[in-house]
Structure 1
Amino acid sequence: MPNGKGGAEQIEVCGIVQGVGFRPFVYRLAARLGLDGDVRNAGDRVIIHASGPRAVLDAFAAALLAEAPVLARVEAITRRPAAVPEPGFRIIESGAGTVSVGVVPDVATCPACRAEIADPAARRHRYAFTNCTDCGPRFSIVTGLPYDRPATTMAGFAMCPACRAEYEDPADRRFHAQPIACPDCGPRLWVEGAGAPAEANPIGHAAALLRAGRILAVKGLGGFHIACDATCETAVAELRARKHRPTKPLAVMADLATAHGLCTISADEDAALLHPSAPILLLPLKQGAPLASGIAPGQHHLGLMLPYTPLHHLLLAETGRPLVMTSGNRSGEPQIFRDDAARDGLAGIVDAFLMHDRPIARRLDDSVARTAAGAPRVMRRGRGLAPVPLPLPQDFAGAPPVLAMGGELKNALCLTHGSKALLSHHLGDLDEPATGDAYEIALADYTALFTHRPQVVAVDLHPDYRATRLGEAVALARGLVVERVQHHHAHVAGAMAENGWRRANGPVVGIALDGLGLGEDGTVWGAEVLVCDYRTSRRAARLSPIPLAGGDAASREPWRVLLAHLDRALGPAAVAGDPHLASLFAGKPVATLRAMVGRGLNAPSASSAGRLFDAVAALLRLAPDRLSHEGEAAMALEAVAVTEAGTPPYPFALRPEAGLTEIDPAPLWQALMQDLHAGRNRGAMAAAFHTGLADVFATVAAHTATAEGLATVAVSGGVFQNALLLEETARRLRRHGLTVLVPAQVPANDGGLAFGQAVVTAARHMG
């Protein structure tokens, strides 16, 4: 260090410090403190040369962390002595360096820009594409790195002199804001359809259409939304009919004051709504909230987000009421993000289009989160979150770069790069052809954009997953090793890694509850207790398996799974003779299904927690004969259970079998049938099921931990998106004195699978 009177230092700041206004922040801070020197970008860090009194240099270094721009994430600051620089302070153009994975996500409009669009005297009054270094589009417009205007979809918009002056002024909040624009030089809006005039106020026209009950396609940051008046019964019903979406809840956009009138919102949830990522947040819906009844039928929660672009702020204010903002797509297909595709694909669904001429570089669905077990937890990672990198645990330094392909449903990719993992945005269900094609495009996009050169490719064990087949093809073409990772091992490993669990810490007990995943024994798993470290996994317990008559059809028709569970627990004769079940199975091919099971034809055995939820929902008449969307039955079951939280648990039986603890639900079904005959409240029955499942898996995990000499349990899998189940399970585990690792930034569902695959593979290929 220099002497107390003064000196000079080179200060390196590592983290997300590019494309976030960090250099002008350093320039303004140095000017404020009277320091000499310069600042420049260098790969994944910023290098500062600064001189001045020692106390001032100390204050400068502290302020780099404490006052960093809202989009920055400072991970490390290193200081060392240096030569005294020339007088003054300068920003130096970016030098060459290693490409960083720290690309900034799209960020909600900042307070300064919101004030500007509301100010009649401002140059950008009511301008729908206002942004600065603290907010606006980033990942949705990037076409290459380094992040600079020619490598964005703003390349075709030449800056006017006024914008150029702001862009080049280090003291201005728009210094090097690549999407900078104004009404004279930037993107423009227009309305197509519904008699829109060629030159008019497009926001006002679109708002008038919405107030009149019309349905609009709105081009946003990462794709198109379908919008309508969320308070209008006929508009919401018509949207559902046109989109063939009978029950799946619809997301609503509202300003913060309106949101508080619709939902019960805690201080932490307020902060989550106002976070720059601006996710859809699942919030408790107030009784009598002024919304159409078809927004979230049968649910006690509402998916709500605040406006996150100037366009949304203006449209919402002009309309004067909350708006449905659901994905712009046809049922089962990915969100549309190109203009011509929207005109074709949304024809017949929407009455008009609110368009703009800034191209979207890549599709980005809205992120979705909910508060559970005391923290916000990401359910879908998309706009606002991707592609923020995730740190790997400390002793993963030196891990080889891995490309992890994810699973079949809720797919996301993961690339590891040095000490970080880049988990992609939500890509969707690959069993849909259009989504599968989009997945291949995203793979090429991510690997090219981040210059990723993997040494190993990680895939799921299931050989027929499209992601597995593509991963094998990539590995073959590049001469790379393929690492196969069991589905539930990946879920648990992801929870370990996100919580910083080191390789040196050894194994944990894992609880993996989800729909279906191929097990190491070739059977279908979905409700397991594991003992695993990053490299290996061993199954210690499972839910007793039942046959899935019809294979995939059983995942779509809950009554099939119910029949299998009841036949196993009560016997076919008791099922056939029960008057409460007669109408439930009336007209269904029960004899055919039983024959299939008896002959072992298209009736794979599965230990699935997801299918258990479906079956209980079917028994309680909370599920349709055929589901219209994944999770429909489980969501309905949770919705009625939360009204009776704390109900004593239903029983399960435990027995050792073939080296495993078998978790037998037969007593559960017997208790359910007794309560059904007695006319017990459905909410109480649903709650007793939740607490029973939590109780038995926590008990088995605790016994396993004791037997193995372990003190930590990691829980994951899509079933743990159920807040009630997660909270009941975590509470019981902690009562046993166990440390509980739960995913938060990584989805517990298959959207986080690739992250787990990546860390397992990295660990297996380290010394």
Structure 2
Amino acid sequence: MPTEEIIVRGVVQGVGFRPFVWRLAQRLGIDGAVSNRGDAVVIVASGTPAALEALVHALRAEAPPLAQVDSVSREIVRPFAGHGFAIAASAPGTVSVGVVADIATCPACLAEMRDPDARRHRYAFTNCTDCGPRFSIVEGLPYDRATTTMRGFAMCPDCRAEYENPADRRFHAQPIACPACGPRLVPDGDDDPILAAAARLERGEILAIKGIGGFHIACDATNAASVAELRARKSRPAKPLAVMVRDRAMLEALCEVSAAEHAALARPSAPIVLLRMHPGAAIAPSVAPGQNRLGAMLPYTPLHHRLMEAMGRPLVMTSGNRSSEPQIFRDADALSGLAGIVDAFLTHDRPIARRLDDSVVQVAAGRLQVMRRGRGLAPVPRDLPSGFASAPPVLAMGGDLKSAICLTLGGKSLLSHHLGDLEEPATQDEFERALADHAALFAHQPAAIAIDLHPGYRPSRIGAEMAAERGLPLIAIQHHHAHIAATMAEHGWPLDGGRVIGVALDGLGLGEDGAIWGAEILLCDYRGSRRLAGLQPIPLAGGDAASREPWRVLLAHLDAVLGPDETPGDLFEGLPAATLRIMIARGLNAPLASSAGRLFDAMAALLGLAPARLGFEGQAAMALQAAAETAPDPQPPYPFATRTRNGLIAIDPAPMWRAALADRAAGTDVALIARRFHEGVAAVFVNLAASLAAEHGVRAAALSGGVFQNTLLLESVAAGLARGGLEVLLPEQVPANDGGLAFGQAAVAAARLLPV
């Protein structure tokens, strides 16, 4: 019989791949062995040529649900002398990622839970090789029960027999458990804590529920009084709350759900998906005040399935924390940190190794767009594009908001889960713990550290200190160049693939000229970028305060266009406009900035869609988008002017403001003004990007920046550029916001470390 060595690369460890190969070999009559080697699975297979062909085909076509097969290579080797097929001990080698993300309960385990004759009937911790906790319970590598938080639960004989049987779907499932030997719910004096919790929720109480990666705070999403009480206790007055629904039918009663959105909800990662709500949906209006979208998710653990079946109505499932603080994941912290917020706890005795927020996604331009990488999506490795394989390992630090770090090694990258906004001391502590955790867990020793160009960012300061202590190169990268590089690298744009036109629409980022940027067209490759066009800057009176109070930005914009005497005074009644004008005139804490994010905030303020002070980041822009989406399609775009000075094209919003003010004075519907604004922003950036691409002989455009989480804008810009004949690269698995910044920093730093 011919014998081949078959090497499978990708996400193939910790996902049941070796027992899968064993079962294929039994079916096809193949002798040999399978083992892990480094970050690949190696198969020695002896059989008929037809059997070997069938094996190779099945490796891709029938791979386990958590596996991702990137490549399969084959080589004829010396004939195999033995008989039978074995799962061999792993060979030595560096495992780049030896653990996969936490996975929602699979259909087989769900059916087992619901079977009255099964020994795991109604068991809240049922799992197998294809589902259950992974990254949230791992404390070290190699990924084995002894290095997880399951080590305190000794397997009973029945679980041990399943664990050791390659034919069983629980073969080497490290979280394997049953009622006789596994984790248990904390009773709190009730016979069935889940039924007791459902009864409390039905009575309007607020509960803390321990899931995978941390605690949630839950209440009945149809009970307006309960939702209002939750907001008051948590000090979260306006930010939308996520909702868990029992099933597809319950979801469709609340929201419009496309086939792509259903598919996103049903993914093994079980993310929160942003969906368009039905008008008058049977849910408390305060769940998502002023919004037309609802963040919804399906149950993803056996505990959640049982609770939702017992409850029979949607539940608010928001992060278990006090406002602005990290989600709580330790039991002792929950008891103290959630005191006064929740009325009771539904918890259990399986420890959580690390905090993982829920992932958040949406469908935009027909594609899945990740907005927050957390539970279910991290730690999934990504191959860097062609040309990066020999780059030295890099640690990229990301930014202050929506922070995440990225490690690279041997042509692969690992973007961390969402670590939070580093304005709070508790989140800063979590960030530094995550740095140590990732370095230890993945045995990563960087040869260089990449940071944002802004030296005041906390990750930039920490990165600079680390580089100095270790004697490593420190590579500072412009914020929006990193954003565009992230999109390029996600789509596999080769190192030698040439330049792209980058459209970066964002909040704020320090530019290479020392000014604050946030709305640019760049000419980029990985090693560098050149700014070709940008929004005309306006002063941000009060600095950071302007990001929280949109009226400040509106005042600056209108004064720049009309002058203080002509700016409508009714827009600023009761606000200290005179003080701000003095600050701007004297240049006191009023830095110039060209920010798309602040432009959207200002328009929302003009239309009365933004409060004087925002309750959360993005509140004004989200309300503006929601209004624009109710307008008939299409609408004529508002005009923008352009002029060139010193080789840079300045995008002047003055004509747009005059047209919007005229519409407002004429009593035009707010939705129409909001829609014309969106179309105007899209049109000016599409036209300029297409023109500049032609001028510089560029064939592709890459989009990124937090403003491109606006699906109306993203779809309009993407469609316009595609009509112009450009290949359009959109942010998908790597967030467009600062959650993807570290990935772009890592790609740029790696490119600069390679010889030209």
Structure-1-length-normalised TM-score: 0.97
Q: Find the counterpart in structure 1 of residue 210 from structure 2.
A: 219
- 1:43 Cα shift? 1.7
Q: Find the counterpart in structure 2 of residue 110 from structure 1.
A: 106
| Superposition pairs of residues 353-502 of structure 1, within 5 angstroms | 353-502=345-494
- 1:100 Cα shift? 2.0
Distance 2:413 2:68 in 1: 15
Structure 2 letter corresponding to 1:640: A
C-alpha offsets along residues 372-419 of structure 1, whole Å, 9 cap, x if unaligned? 111010000000000101121112121111100001100000001212
| 2:98–2:142 Cα contact (<8 Å) kept | no
| Superposition pairs of residues 635-714 of structure 1, within 5 angstroms | 635-644=622-631, 645-714=633-702
Q: Find the counterpart in structure 2 of residue 63 from structure 1.
A: 58
Where in structure 1 are there 5+ consecutive unaligned residues? 1-5
Q: Find the counterpart in structure 2 of residue 79 from structure 1.
A: 74
Q: Find the counterpart in structure 2 of residue 596 from structure 1.
A: 583
Computed over aligned residues only, the root mean square deviation of the Cα atoms, in angstroms, reads 1.0
1:232 to 211, 223, 233: 223
SS of equivalent residue, structure 1 residue 526: strand
Q: Find the counterpart in structure 2 of residue 750 from structure 1.
A: 738
| Superposition pairs of residues 233-272 of structure 1, within 5 angstroms | 233-254=224-245, 255-272=247-264
Structure 2 letter corresponding to 1:34: G
| 2:104–2:132 Cα contact (<8 Å) kept | yes
C-alpha offsets along residues 599-626 of structure 1, whole Å, 9 cap, x if unaligned? 1110000000000011000010000000
SS of equivalent residue, structure 1 residue 206: helix
- 1:517 Cα shift? 0.4
C-alpha offsets along residues 603-662 of structure 1, whole Å, 9 cap, x if unaligned? 000000000011000010000000010000000000010111421100111111222101
SS of equivalent residue, structure 1 residue 80: strand
| 2:101–2:134 Cα contact (<8 Å) kept | yes
Structure 1 letter corresponding to 2:313: R
1:177 to 173, 180, 186: 173
| 2:321–2:328 Cα contact (<8 Å) kept | yes
Where in structure 2 are there 5+ consecutive unaligned residues? none
C-alpha offsets along residues 263-322 of structure 1, whole Å, 9 cap, x if unaligned? 111111111110101110001111232111111112111101010000100111011111
1:344 to 336, 361, 364: 336
Q: Find the counterpart in structure 2 of residue 132 from structure 1.
A: 128
SS of equivalent residue, structure 1 residue 190: coil
- 1:587 Cα shift? 1.9
Distance 2:147 2:248 in 1: 35
SS of equivalent residue, structure 2 residue 182: coil
Q: Find the counterpart in structure 2 of residue 586 from structure 1.
A: 573
Distance 1:256 1:344 in 2: 36
| 2:213–2:356 Cα contact (<8 Å) kept | yes
| 2:149–2:352 Cα contact (<8 Å) kept | yes
- Aligned positions, number: 752
Check if 1:189 corresponds to 2:185: yes
- 1:102 Cα shift? 5.0
Check if 1:163 corresponds to 2:159: yes
| 1:142–1:152 Cα contact (<8 Å) kept | yes
Q: Find the counterpart in structure 2 of residue 200 from structure 1.
A: 191
Distance 1:710 1:57 in 2: 45
- 1:9 Cα shift? 1.4
Check if 1:615 corresponds to 2:602: yes
| 1:404–1:758 Cα contact (<8 Å) kept | yes
Q: Find the counterpart in structure 2 of residue 3 from structure 1.
A: none
1:210 to 187, 190, 201: 201
C-alpha offsets along residues 406-463 of structure 1, whole Å, 9 cap, x if unaligned? 0110000000121211000000111211111100000000011000011010000111
Check if 1:91 corresponds to 2:87: yes
| 2:505–2:518 Cα contact (<8 Å) kept | yes
Distance 2:47 2:390 in 1: 37
Structure 2 letter corresponding to 1:700: L
- 1:62 Cα shift? 0.9
Distance 1:722 1:343 in 2: 38
Distance 1:662 1:726 in 2: 21
Q: Find the counterpart in structure 2 of residue 335 from structure 1.
A: 327
SS of equivalent residue, structure 1 residue 396: coil
| 1:36–1:85 Cα contact (<8 Å) kept | no
- 1:95 Cα shift? 2.8
2:284 to 269, 287, 292: 292
Check if 1:37 corresponds to 2:32: yes
| 1:102–1:389 Cα contact (<8 Å) kept | no
- 1:18 Cα shift? 1.1
SS of equivalent residue, structure 2 residue 295: strand
Moved over 6 A (4+): none
Check if 1:568 corresponds to 2:568: no
- 1:103 Cα shift? 2.4
- 1:87 Cα shift? 0.8
- 1:332 Cα shift? 0.7
C-alpha offsets along residues 236-268 of structure 1, whole Å, 9 cap, x if unaligned? 111111111111111111122211221111111
Q: Find the counterpart in structure 2 of residue 101 from structure 1.
A: 97
Check if 1:50 corresponds to 2:45: yes
Please identify, of 490-499 and 83-92, the stretch whose mean Cα deviation from structure 2 is larger.
Answer: 83-92
Sequence identity percentage: 66
- 1:77 Cα shift? 1.2
Structure 1 letter corresponding to 2:608: R
Q: Find the counterpart in structure 1 of residue 142 from structure 2.
A: 146
C-alpha offsets along residues 122-142 of structure 1, whole Å, 9 cap, x if unaligned? 100010100000000000001
Q: Find the counterpart in structure 1 of residue 528 from structure 2.
A: 536
SS of equivalent residue, structure 2 residue 630: helix
Structure 1 letter corresponding to 2:670: R
Distance 1:59 1:458 in 2: 45
Q: Find the counterpart in structure 2 of residue 283 from structure 1.
A: 275
Q: Find the counterpart in structure 2 of residue 553 from structure 1.
A: 545
Check if 1:13 corresponds to 2:1: no
Check if 1:761 corresponds to 2:756: no
C-alpha offsets along residues 80-109 of structure 1, whole Å, 9 cap, x if unaligned? 122223111111122322122252100010
C-alpha offsets along residues 442-492 of structure 1, whole Å, 9 cap, x if unaligned? 000001100001101000011111100000111111110000000000001
Distance 1:641 1:326 in 2: 27
| 2:207–2:343 Cα contact (<8 Å) kept | yes
SS of equivalent residue, structure 2 residue 347: strand
Distance 2:84 2:741 in 1: 51
Structure 2 letter corresponding to 1:476: A
Structure 2 letter corresponding to 1:166: E
Structure 2 letter corresponding to 1:275: R
Q: Find the counterpart in structure 1 of residue 23 from structure 2.
A: 28
- 1:153 Cα shift? 0.5
